Amino acid sequence: MHNSSVADLMSSPVLTVRPNDSAREVAGAMRDAGVNSVVVTDAECRPTGILTATDYVRITSDAVDPRETSVERYTATDIVTTQPTDPAATAAEMMMSHGIKHLPVVDSDDQVVGIVTTTDLTEYLASKNKS
């Protein structure tokens, strides 16, 4: 992974949503796309937060109506990002040091272009070990 970049292992395109989208709509989009997270973005597609399947546990435990609740209420806004040209090992270190499983990838204009997850890292490492 020393010579690999984030672009080599990121998933793209990434599912993005807006803060005012309903939790129910976003849950359906996540299910349909087969993903465990979405990046919440502003009008310029810049990340403002991330929402994961774990956040839906909070929504359920809070007994809120997902049709009446926007994702903004449950979005983690202290996100960390990386760029496609960053070394893959650096992205892995960032994820470990911040205790995160989802790392949005942004371009030089800070627009979301992908995401790196622990699953992406595992799949990438497994494919490199087969070579």
Residue 1 has pLDDT above 60, yes or no: no
At 128 the pLDDT is 73
Averaged pLDDT score across all residues of the chain: 92
**Residue of higher predicted confidence among 34 and 127:** 34
Question: Comparing 59-63, 64-68, 108-112, 122-126, which segment has the lowest mean pLDDT?
Answer: 122-126
Superfamily of domain 6-130: CBS-domain (3.10.580.10)
Residues facing 91 on adjacent strands = none
At 99 the pLDDT is 94
What confidence category does residue 124 fall into, taking pLDDT thresholds of 50, 70 and 90? confident
Q: How far apart are CA 69 and CA 119, in angstroms?
A: 29
Residues facing 52 on adjacent strands = 37
At 33 the pLDDT is 95
